[in-house]
């Protein structure tokens, strides 16, 4: 019988930051399981399936005041989990 382990998952939504991989590396060094996904791939269905226990919005080169700038799906704010925004991600 193969034993599977369930673990909490942290989602990093990548808005194009140059340090997103570094953020993930530091979390993994703290034994936190995390995955990086580009903002355009994070859909409502993905969030429901992934079921993160926390979310980090990375930084990025865009400005939140620009028309059409990247945004996370609204559903992420309804998950009831902690959200940490870094640089651009904090402004979102």
What pLDDT score does 6 carry?
64
Burial 62-85 (b: 16+ CB within 10 A, else e): beeeeeeebebeeebeebebebeb
- 62 phi and psi angles, rounded to 5 deg: -80, 170
CATH class of 10-91: alpha beta
C-alpha dihedral (60, 77, 32, 12), degrees to nearest 10: -20
The whole-model pTM stands at 0.89
Q: How confident is the model at residue 26 (pLDDT cuts 50, 70, 90)?
A: very high
What pLDDT score does 48 carry?
94
Q: E strands within 29-72?
A: 34-38, 54-57
Mind listing the pLDDT tens digit for each residue in 29-78? 999 999 999 999 999 999 999 999 999 999 999 999 999 999 999 999 99
Is 34:24 a contact under the CB 8 Å cutoff?
Answer: yes
Number of alpha carbons in the 13 Å side-chain half-sphere of residue 85: 12
């Amino acid at each position: 019988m193969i034993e599977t382990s369930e673990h909490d998952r942290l989602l990093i939504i990548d808005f194009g930051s140059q340090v997103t991989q570094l953020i993930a590396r530091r979390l993994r060094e703290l034994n936190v399981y995390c995955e990086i996904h580009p903002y355009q791939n994070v859909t409502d269905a993905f969030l429901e399936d992934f079921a993160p226990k926390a979310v980090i919005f990375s930084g990025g080169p865009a400005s939140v005041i620009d028309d059409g700038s990247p945004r996370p799906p609204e559903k992420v704010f309804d998950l009831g989990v902690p959200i940490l925004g870094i640089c651009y991600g904090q402004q979102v």
